[in-house]
Amino acid sequence: MASSDARTTEEPSRIRPRQDSDVKKAGSGEYPAVEQTESSRPSSRGTESITERTARIDSKLSIASLLLERLPPLDARARLLGSAILRRDEVLIDAVLAEMTDEVVALAASRSRR
């Protein structure tokens, strides 16, 4: 055991240079294994306009607001929905609404009866 301690004290520590890799050539966060091809990139025709995006989010906000009115204030989903509505967080709204499918269906049914 003493011989291994002596060996480690004799060898100074050093920083080894990175080996050349494909990651360095591709750029930070880009890996050649998942490069986008021309067909997988969204075309300018396929992107949605700001107006369409705003309308989609407003629709979800409307549903979320109606559901929020029906939930008890101390319900965790109500707090999440309230936060998501204030932030206009589409991902969080989608997640909460996905967990509340029964409530969304009931709300849609009551809206269609009017």
Read off the pLDDT of residues 49-104 as tens digits, 9 standing for 90 and up: 999 999 999 999 999 999 999 889 898 889 999 999 999 999 999 999 888 888 87
With respect to residue 34, please indicate whether it lies within any of the assigned structural domains: no
| 94 assigned to some structural domain | yes
Question: According to DSSP H, which parts of the chain are helical?
Answer: 2-10, 22-26, 50-70, 76-87, 90-99, 101-113
Provide the residue range defining the domain that includes 89. 50-113
Inside any domain, residue 90: yes
Residue 27 lies in a domain: no
Considering the entire predicted model, what is its pTM? 0.53
Angstrom distances, CA of residue 63 to CA of 70, 90, 110: 11, 12, 12
- The answer to whether the CB of 95 falls within 8 A of the CB of 102 is no
39 is a domain residue: no
Residue 88 lies in a domain: yes
- What is the count of structural domains for the chain? 1
User: Is 19 a member of any domain?
Assistant: no
